[in-house]
Structure 1
Amino acid sequence: MTTMKQIAEMAGVSVSTVSLVINKRDKGRVNPGLARRVRKTADALGYHPNPLARSLRTSRTRILGFISEEIATTPYAGNIIRGAQDAASATGYMMLTVNTDGTSKKDEEQEVATLKRYGVDGFLYAKMYNRLAQVPDCLQDQPLVLVDATDESGSVPSISPDEFHIGYDATRHLIEAGCERIAYIGAAETLLAQGIRLQGYRAALEESGRTFVQDLVANVGFNQPALDQVGALFDSQHPDGFFCFNDARAWHVYEAAARRGLTVGRDISVVGVDNHRLVAETISPRLTTIELPHYEIGYWSVCKLVSMITGEPVPEDRLPDTIAPLPSMDAPWPVRIRCTLLSKDSVVPHNS
């Protein structure tokens, strides 16, 4: 293992100078040219800092705690964890993940206590889907970022999808394709995203000079009752465009269209939300959909947390290229990340 002493001898400087450079405390204290020489020598020798020694010096473990509400067992939302892990690795941190079912306060407190015993430097508190959330008392005095949710008190940094623009962008895409009667196939459940996406749908219609028609909205659940509701909307309103709350509900539109001899992508146009692999890779024609930025949410959350712990911003020029652009680390919270529409085959311009 390469030591600071070996770096100092090869670079022709003192061990204290090497320490300042390696620990990024050289600004204003070490000549920039000399600092570059030390870093180049350290790289050539394959030097890696000892995390245990660093934690003893700084009282930091460089470990983050990720508290997941069923995200670890959810296939597509699991990208939040993947993004968080990538960001932790890029910033020199490890991440410990615990999973809760979101129903037992006592179990959640026990998981937090376990992470605290490991001496984690800060916490990520993640929800399975976007909602207003209360931060547990056991996390109130910790560096914390709320992930895929919004803090009810507004006092904790948080990030979630821009639900309004999901509805707005999907509806605008259908309008620009020439659709005249655009339906919204929403969710029957009481969800934060449901109401806000509906607002975006209405705003896009009204911006284009169209009147919102309540009869073009069907809030559906699952299985046969949902298919019956969508079919009834087909028969009574004859829409030519559909914005669906998620990809699963878009399947009901495909099925109802097929039963009426209509072809998606020719007779009607459909936009979903999620880019869920099971749906996106199964139904034909391929579904135009808005991808939820789970990876980006996880990545941004860790970068924000690390900046809170260190008191220094994560350099934005080192952030990765992602499908949805990452918001600024200085963005006022709650942070909303605008999602990306993936144009496929289920929307075809009427004049094509």
Structure 2
Amino acid sequence: MTTMKDIATATGVSISTVSLVLNGRDAGRVNRLTAAQVRDTAQRLGYISNPLARSLRTGRTRILGFVSEHIATTPFAGGIILGAQEAAIALGYMLLTVNADNQRAEADSIAMLARYGVDGVLYAKMSNQYTDVPQALVDYPLVLVDATDKQGRFSSIEPDEFTIGLDATARLIAAGCRRIAYIGAPDTTFAQHGRFAGYRQALDNGNIQFDDRLVVNVDDDETALRAVSDLFDREHPDGFFCFNDARAWYVYECAARRGLIIGKDVSVIGVDNHQIFAQTLIPRLTTVELPHYEMGYWATMKLVSLIEGGVPDTLVMPQTTTPLPPLDATVPAQIHCALIEKASVRA
């Protein structure tokens, strides 16, 4: 195994100089050319750092905790964990993920992360929401994912719910729709308010008068299908913006029962790019993709910046569907969500 002494001998410098360079503490202390030579030699000789020794020396484990609620077991939201993992690896950290579906499980999971000595924690929720941060986490560097701390104490990242409604409705208007229905969710749903506000703003921008008779807010059950069916017969919409892809299925079902063709007689846009609904409905559903991967990646970069006082300038950013916000964005940071064109909107 190659040691720092081997690298020092090969480059003709002291072991302390090699240590400064390989531990990233050479700025202002070691000549740049010398530092580059040390790194090149370390790579050529196959040097591998010892994480345990480094943690004892620095007081850091380079382990990040990820506390999730249902996310680890929900396929279409798993991109959050993937983004967090890839960012952690790029930054030289390991991600330890735990799934907590109730308060007791959450408390046990946080206690386990503490025993591993994590340097910081990502705290993620399903379906963008305000949340109370567990007291056991308040002293850690902490970033919330798809959630916002009710007391505004911690950095967080969430989808830009307003522009979801704005972009989707504007796309329907551009397709020639004038009686655009909104199939929403109960008002207790956090994202409902932003998406509905975006819907109304797009109508206003398109000089289309808002009509509350074109709005139905429903749960995911049989009464929802009846409500959408009544809307079809009562108001005859030519476009539908749906709170999510699951609600778009009700529109497809009602259109089929009336002999209407999606993408021709009526246009439909959902939200989620859910791998079941968006990929199996025929014609394929035009939808707004939630930035799960992007939220996980950004949150990890933000967390490491809190731990280390910044992220390396040499970090290679991934190719993402939508741009990441700056790390100094106001709380909560918001990510614009991409509209994925398929076939459910009139050409």
User: TM-score band, normalised by the shorter chain?
Assistant: over 0.9
Q: Distance in 1 between matches of 2:141 and 2:272?
A: 30
Residue 231 of structure 2 is aligned with which of 233, 236, 252?
Answer: 233
Q: Distance in 2 between matches of 1:128 and 1:189?
A: 17
Distance 1:206 1:153, change over 3 A: same
User: Aligned letter for 2:287?
Assistant: T
Match of 1:171 in 2: 169
Matched, 1:67 2:99: no
Q: Distance in 1 between matches of 2:312 and 2:273?
A: 29
Q: Distance in 2 between matches of 1:315 and 1:276?
A: 35
Match of 2:122 in 1: 124
Deviation string for 1:112-169 (max 9, x for gaps)? 1111011111111111110011111111111101111011111100011111111111
SS for the counterpart of 1:148 is strand
Q: Paired residues, what number?
A: 347
SS for the counterpart of 1:132 is strand
Deviation string for 1:74-109 (max 9, x for gaps)? 11111111111111111111111111114x2x4322
Matched, 1:303 2:308: no
Kept after mapping to 1: 8 A contact 2:178/2:208: no
Q: Distance in 1 between matches of 2:14 and 2:303?
A: 34
Deviation string for 1:222-269 (max 9, x for gaps)? 243211111111111111111000001101101111111110011111
User: Aligned letter for 1:335?
Assistant: A
User: Aligned letter for 1:77?
Assistant: A
1:316: Cα distance to partner?
7.7
Identity across the alignment (%): 61
Match of 1:45 in 2: 45
Q: Distance in 1 between matches of 2:93 and 2:26?
A: 21
1:274: Cα distance to partner?
0.4
Matched, 1:280 2:278: yes
Matched, 1:107 2:123: no
SS for the counterpart of 1:270 is strand
Structure 1 residues 303-312 or 9-18, which shifts more?
9-18
User: Aligned letter for 2:49?
Assistant: P
Matched, 1:340 2:318: no
Kept after mapping to 1: 8 A contact 2:271/2:290: yes
Kept after mapping to 1: 8 A contact 2:91/2:315: no
SS for the counterpart of 1:248 is helix
Kept after mapping to 2: 8 A contact 1:313/1:329: no
- Within 5 Å, which residues of 2 pair with 1:1-352? 1-102=1-102, 104=103, 106-188=104-186, 190-315=188-313, 318-349=316-347
User: Aligned letter for 1:312?
Assistant: G
Structure 1 segments of 4+ aligned residues over 6 angstroms from their partners: none
TM-score, normalised to structure 1, is 0.96
CA RMSD of aligned residues (A): 1.3
Kept after mapping to 2: 8 A contact 1:189/1:221: no
Q: Distance in 1 between matches of 2:106 and 2:278?
A: 35
Q: Distance in 2 between matches of 1:17 and 1:108?
A: 44
Structure 1 stretches lacking a partner, 5+ long: none
SS for the counterpart of 2:123 is strand
User: Aligned letter for 2:247?
Assistant: R
